[in-house]
Structure 1
Amino acid sequence: MTVTYGCRNHLFLHSNSATPQGSELKQNSNSEFILNDPQGNELWKAPRNGSKSICAAIMNNGNLVILDENYNSTWESFKEPTDTILPGQILHMSSTLRSRQSETNYSKGRFLLSLQTDGNPVLYARSMPSEILEKAYFATMTMYWDSQLIFTDAGYMYIQGGNGRTFNLTKVDPGSNETFYNIARIDYYGVLRLYKHLRKDDTASTSSGSCPSSWTEVQGIPDDSCAGGFCGPNSICNISDGRTFYSIL
């Protein structure tokens, strides 16, 4: 589950499931934090590890933390990323980001970023619905032991090994973090993109309450998503408006 910033200072929860609009995250009478759909059906429950959860708090970095009676963390959204990571968040080896199916469908999609146990971050496509991994279409080949993928508070992303070696993934200045919010997301068309959003927009919002500004792209990884067999065999790949589309022959 991931917490992201939205229009008019709203926060949004994202999970790798088809969570309908109007769903609620709440604490029940058994001190459990559960996500219910509008009909009250349970969609997700936070693990407690035998302890009693008493409260939840959203940290300044967007990490949603559930605390027990001793104020120790029992669950954190930063430890269960979906398709998005936030500044200050770290992916450890064996962690994955999984794309959604479409712009509006948050079920598990075809593409994933895996920080493998050899320290190499790799972008894969999966055959759907078989879930079979297809050929990787991006890898840094940074075989660092004890690697971490770090997304800094300043909006930069890099791989760091246990020996201190680093590999920078950010090639474009993301802008001042005093001016912009930043996120990184593996989009439903398979590109890992870094985005920024103005913290304060002086443009008046419309009478309908829509956002005066939106997330804008800083950088996409890989640069050419039509390379390396991204679209699979017997397909035609093309890029339009920064998005990758393919058709089966």
Structure 2
Amino acid sequence: MSNMFFGIMAFPSPSGEFAFGFQKNGNGGGFLLAIWFDKIPEKTIVWSAINGKLVQKGSTVELTADGRLLLNNTVGGSISIWDDQPAASGVAYAAMLDTGNFVLANRSSFNLWESFQHPTDTILPTQILHPGNSLFARHLLTNYSKGRFMFKLESNGTPVLYTTNFPFDSPNSHYWSIQTVGNYQVFFNPCGFIYLTDSEQNRVEDIVPPTRESLKDSYQRATLDYNGVLMHYIYQKTNGRLWYGVASSPINICTAVVETTGGGACGFNGLCVLGDQGPTCECPMVTR
């Protein structure tokens, strides 16, 4: 297997709906190694590498001859994305799939590593979260480093939304959960249902309320937003309507996050206000 390099360019899926590569982040000079929806103007990111850290122009991704996936940053050297005994496992190729899953596979097309098994803040249709998997909200709208909230499917099968001991990844206090215990997984059904499923793939309980919106000719994603809301989003291909949320858990983050210590949904000295476009954080008004 010869080395493969990707500079500041996109490695598309066969349909072109998703791409893997370097995406410029904001107006600064940094780039994010990421996966995104590639057929819409927003190029919405659904996965990012190395905890959302930015790299500089000229950086590359390399699938080495011995099967390691390396990010070669122009500043700071190489960072391993995957190198778990690659030579012994027989990595033969990398592929960007039409599901939005980036995979490393052997000659038998068995996935040895896949982005679906290492989610960041988003899951996509057909994706499964296994016990122990977590989603971390990004820090800010354009800052993809880990933020103040996490969604975790506990080892006992209980799905929980937590605030974190920011800037650390450990959970602080939970503000939403489904009280159930079993050998469950979280499944994002292509028909738009996001639910717990048992070992026989039976639908047990909804993680996000099911939508009544038409999903014909639309893109979907479920994202743990930087404000702590797990939101089901839809983008209609035909009329170009921008991403809009159709259902969320919890329904009202402003009343859900009530901590005995800490800053609640908006942090210290922040006032959470729920509007038609979701929650916003405002400064308290001072009256005389």
TM-score per shorter chain, which class? 0.7 to 0.9
Q: Deviations over 1:73-132 (max 9, x none)?
A: 210111111111000001111111111111111111110001112222110001323555
Measure, in 1, the Cα distance between the counterparts of 2:67 and 2:43: 25
Task: Give the superposition deviation at 1:40.
Answer: 7.6
Runs of 4+ in 1 over 6 A off after TM superposition: none
Find the counterpart in structure 1 of residue 135 from structure 2.
97
Find the counterpart in structure 2 of residue 209 from structure 1.
none
Task: Give the superposition deviation at 1:9.
Answer: 9.8
Segments of 5+ residues of structure 2 without an aligned counterpart are 1-32
1:145 aligns with 2:177: no
Q: 1:217 to 1:131 in 2, by over 3 A?
A: same
Find the counterpart in structure 1 of residue 48 from structure 2.
14
Find the counterpart in structure 1 of residue 195 from structure 2.
158
> Of 37, 45, 70, which aligns to 1:34?
70
Segments of 5+ residues of structure 1 without an aligned counterpart are 202-211
Answer with 221-230 or 7-16: which moved more: 7-16
Q: 1:9 to 1:217 in 2, by over 3 A?
A: closer
Q: 1:144 to 1:106 in 2, by over 3 A?
A: same
Task: Give the superposition deviation at 1:225.
Answer: 0.3
SS in 2 for 1:227: helix
Structural mapping, 1:48-87, within 5 Å: 48-49=84-85, 50-87=88-125
Q: 1:25 to 1:71 in 2, by over 3 A?
A: same
Structural mapping, 1:202-217, within 5 Å: 213-217=241-245
Answer with 112-121 or 1-10: which moved more: 1-10
SS in 1 for 2:94: strand
1:195 aligns with 2:223: no
SS in 2 for 1:136: strand
Q: 1:195 to 1:79 in 2, by over 3 A?
A: same
Find the counterpart in structure 2 of residue 227 from structure 1.
255
Find the counterpart in structure 1 of residue 17 from structure 2.
none
SS in 1 for 2:173: coil
> Identity over aligned residues, as a percent?
28
Compute the RMSD of aligned alpha carbons.
Answer: 3.0
Q: Is the 1:155–1:174 contact (alpha carbons within 8 Å) kept by the matching residues of 2?
A: no
> Of 36, 56, 75, which aligns to 1:4?
36
The count of residues paired between Structure 1 and Structure 2 equals: 237
Measure, in 2, the Cα distance between the counterparts of 1:194 and 1:118: 24
| Greater relative contact order (CA < 8 Å, ≥ 6 in sequence) | 1
Normalising by structure 2, report the TM-score.
0.71
